[in-house]
A and B are shown apart, each in its own frame.
Chain A
Amino acid sequence: MSRRGWSVYTVGETVRWVVDDDRVIIVDGAVPAAHVLQGREALIWRVLTSSRDFRKLAEFLEVAADLTEPAAEQELRAVLGRWTQLGIASCATGGPDG
């Protein structure tokens, strides 16, 4: 996922996931560990893994969750940060999204 001036995030090579009706189940084969995403996080994962476009994802989140643009971007950064800590996503290039 990228935007001018923003980091590029990728899903780890050992990460596999299944999209269920109301959740996304993620397995990291390297650890190994499983994670279940629901609600907004599941939505973010589904869009992230299909388009990887920050602006689009932020706009989707803004509309889907009734957030302001800054709040949507803030939530997005928080979710990406958590996923990075969990090891299911990684920041490929540095940037100001911190």
Chain B
Amino acid sequence: MRSTGTRAASKMPAVPDARDSIFCLPAGGVSLVYAPLHGLAAVMRNAAAERLAAALRENDRLVPGPVGTIATHLLDTAAEMPQARSGPLSEPLFLGVVPTRGCNMACGYCDFAAPKSGGPTMDLHLARAAVEGYLMLLDRGGRRHGAVHFFGGEPFRAPDVVEFIVEFAAQRAGDLGIVLDFEASTNGLFSSARAEWVADRFSTIVLSLDGPARVQDRQRPALNDRPTFSVVARTAKILSDGPAELIVRSCVTAASVDLLPEWATWISRELRPSTVCFESLTGSASTVAAGFLPPDPYRFAQQFAQAALILDRHGIATVQSTSDLRDCRISACPVGQDALIVSPDGAVDACYLLEKEWRDQGLDLRLGLVNVAARSLEIEDEALERTRQLAARHKPLCASCFCQYHCAGGCHVHHDTNRPAAAYDDMCVATRLITADKVLRRLRLTAVADRTLTDPVAARSLARHADDRLIASEVP
């Protein structure tokens, strides 16, 4: 039996029925007990897991041995559930800025329904008002630290807007005694001079680079159909050598999944990122029509784990957005966390996706608008509360899943969680396998982790396990 007892979170109220947050799932012939809200993970024989379940049902602290120790910990430690934000807007997660929806790439799997060129670019007066409004919110709330994150399209397709905001915001924030971090999600297809400026001015860059040249150039060609690997790799090296934190994000397809270890080796040899993020392609009719298929989730999890081992030897973290164990949460994205994301038309939304995408799903993620004349952000309290509750809503699909406090149901717009419990799709399968693998490796149970991923029966048994709750308070 091996266990760990790190606290998962703090300052969170107790979960209504703590028993529902204690999970047990099959892991290659043994049982993985995972209680993220109690900060506990343990592997034990199946019979020991049954004794643990009985002890918890009976509130029995007198069971001898390690099972009793774990039972006592689970019974005596208050489970603390992540909660939706509440109250007035005083601590926005960040100011998001979409300088343009345009892009200089023509990624084969991109189904972003915005024109690549010719779309609106954010006006500088609007940009100034957004920055001033955000800084005013921080200042009024007594916050001395903030962040501005650029999204797209490709944000550096509108370099003047980015440059203006960075320089103006840094100056205004400095005047107010506020320290701002600048972050951007970018495709990296720009000049070396631009890359050097970005490396100098930004704190964090999330750079999309899908793989070796044969992968990147097929999946992410330029708008003029030219290959992009050499330019984006050059950008990556410049960023890697600079002070900014570099996060490499790779979209993994059926064609590229088997190259993940090779790709991890290249990254660890050529770059010094803090983190590599592997995300499985989300399939749609248009991606299939373009010849891009999502990877098999079992294969993705196996290759993810192999790549993670390679990167870990170089001190590089490997993440997938839905299996981040660093904390317990109700949202895996900015939605519900009071992020204020400004579009070129002046709308302020909770999500960086196009309005059409969330409207099509029956969602309203509009928070308000930028008042250019008043240089303020006009955020509607009701809208803010609506998005907070969207993140905190009951998600039937996730009700009995051990990943629910990390994955949080995934994308609020595109991942349907209003389905029966345990009706897992490919995203769920990959998330479950990778999350379990991470927990097992934290426990240093490498052999169990390897067996769970590579034995098809064991992997399927874990991935498709219907109800992960060790003792359920009721049917989910």
Q: Given A50-B163, A51-B163, A63-B124, A22 and B168 touching (CB < 8 A)?
A: no
* A 18-48 binary contact with B (CB < 8 Å = 1; else 0): 0111110000000000000001001100110
**What residues on A are CB-neighbors of B168 within 8 Å?**
43, 60, 63-64
**What residues on A are CB-neighbors of B394 within 8 Å?**
none
Q: Contacting A39 at CB < 8 Å: which of B125, B128, B167, B175?
A: B175
**What residues on B are CB-neighbors of A39 within 8 Å?**
171, 175
Chain A residues 42 to 98 lying within 8 A of chain B, measured CB to CB, are 42-43, 46-47, 50-51, 56, 59-60, 63-64
Dominant secondary structure at the B interface: helix
Nearest neighbor of A50 in chain B, beta-carbon distance: B197
Q: When the two chains form their complex, are residues B124 and A60 in contact, meaning their CB atoms are under 8 A apart?
A: yes
A43 vs B197: C-alpha distance when bound (angstroms): 15
**What residues on A are CB-neighbors of B177 within 8 Å?**
22
Q: How many residues of B contact A (CB 8 A)?
A: 17
* B 167-198 binary contact with A (CB < 8 Å = 1; else 0): 11011011101010000000000000000010
Q: When the two chains form their complex, are residues B163 and A63 in contact, meaning their CB atoms are under 8 A apart?
A: no
Q: Contacting B160 at CB < 8 Å: which of A42, A43, A56, A64?
A: A56
Q: When the two chains form their complex, are residues A46 and B124 in contact, meaning their CB atoms are under 8 A apart?
A: no
**What residues on A are CB-neighbors of B125 within 8 Å?**
63
Q: When the two chains form their complex, are residues A60 and B197 in contact, meaning their CB atoms are under 8 A apart?
A: no
**What residues on B are CB-neighbors of A56 within 8 Å?**
160, 163
Tell me if B164 counts as interface (CB < 8 A to partner A).
yes
**What residues on B are CB-neighbors of A21 within 8 Å?**
170, 173-174, 179
Chain B residues 330 to 356 lying within 8 A of chain A, measured CB to CB, are none
Nearest neighbor of B179 in chain A, beta-carbon distance: A21
Q: Contacting B128 at CB < 8 Å: which of A19, A42, A64?
A: A64
**What residues on A are CB-neighbors of B174 within 8 Å?**
20-23
A60 vs B181: C-alpha distance when bound (angstroms): 21
What is the minimal beta-carbon distance from A39 to any residue of chain B, in angstroms?
A: 7
Q: When the two chains form their complex, are residues B175 and A60 in contact, meaning their CB atoms are under 8 A apart?
A: no
What is the minimal beta-carbon distance from A16 to any residue of chain B, in angstroms?
A: 14
A55 vs B197: C-alpha distance when bound (angstroms): 19
**What residues on B are CB-neighbors of A42 within 8 Å?**
171
Q: When the two chains form their complex, are residues B163 and A47 in contact, meaning their CB atoms are under 8 A apart?
A: yes
Nearest neighbor of A19 in chain B, beta-carbon distance: B170
Chain A residues 3 to 21 lying within 8 A of chain B, measured CB to CB, are 19-21
A63 vs B168: C-alpha distance when bound (angstroms): 10
**What residues on A are CB-neighbors of B179 within 8 Å?**
21
A61 vs B260: C-alpha distance when bound (angstroms): 47
A32 vs B348: C-alpha distance when bound (angstroms): 49
What is the minimal beta-carbon distance from A50 to any residue of chain B, in angstroms?
A: 5
A64 vs B177: C-alpha distance when bound (angstroms): 18
**What residues on A are CB-neighbors of B167 within 8 Å?**
43, 46-47, 50, 60
A46 vs B160: C-alpha distance when bound (angstroms): 13
Nearest neighbor of B196 in chain A, beta-carbon distance: A50
Nearest neighbor of B159 in chain A, beta-carbon distance: A51
Q: Contacting B164 at CB < 8 Å: which of A20, A22, A23, A60?
A: A60
Nearest neighbor of A20 in chain B, beta-carbon distance: B174
What is the minimal beta-carbon distance from A69 to any residue of chain B, in angstroms?
A: 13
Q: When the two chains form their complex, are residues B128 and A63 in contact, meaning their CB atoms are under 8 A apart?
A: yes
Nearest neighbor of A45 in chain B, beta-carbon distance: B167
A64 vs B132: C-alpha distance when bound (angstroms): 11
**What residues on B are CB-neighbors of A23 within 8 Å?**
174
**What residues on A are CB-neighbors of B171 within 8 Å?**
22, 39, 42-43, 46, 64
**What residues on B are CB-neighbors of A19 within 8 Å?**
170
Chain B residues 44 to 94 lying within 8 A of chain A, measured CB to CB, are none
Chain B residues 173 to 230 lying within 8 A of chain A, measured CB to CB, are 173-175, 177, 179, 197, 201
**What residues on B are CB-neighbors of A51 within 8 Å?**
163
A21 vs B168: C-alpha distance when bound (angstroms): 11
A43 vs B163: C-alpha distance when bound (angstroms): 11
A42 vs B172: C-alpha distance when bound (angstroms): 11
**What residues on A are CB-neighbors of B124 within 8 Å?**
59-60, 63
Nearest neighbor of B197 in chain A, beta-carbon distance: A50
A13 vs B229: C-alpha distance when bound (angstroms): 35
**What residues on B are CB-neighbors of A22 within 8 Å?**
171, 173-175, 177
What is the minimal beta-carbon distance from B178 to any residue of chain A, in angstroms?
A: 8
A56 vs B168: C-alpha distance when bound (angstroms): 13
Extra contacts besides A22-B171, A39-B171, A50-B163 (6): CB < 8 Å: A42-B171, A43-B171, A46-B167, A46-B171, A56-B163, A64-B171
Taking Cβ atoms with an 8 Å cutoff, the residues of A that contact B are 19-23, 39, 42-43, 46-47, 50-51, 56, 59-60, 63-64
The 27 sampled A-B contact pairs (Cβ below 8 Å) are A19-B170, A20-B174, A21-B174, A21-B179, A22-B171, A22-B175, A39-B175, A42-B171, A43-B167, A43-B168, A46-B167, A46-B170, A46-B171, A47-B163, A47-B167, A50-B201, A56-B163, A59-B124, A59-B160, A60-B124, A60-B163, A60-B164, A63-B124, A63-B164, A63-B168, A64-B128, A64-B168
Q: Which 7 residue pairs of A and B lie closest in terms of their CB atoms, listed nearest first?
A: A22-B174, A21-B174, A63-B124, A46-B167, A43-B171, A64-B168, A50-B197
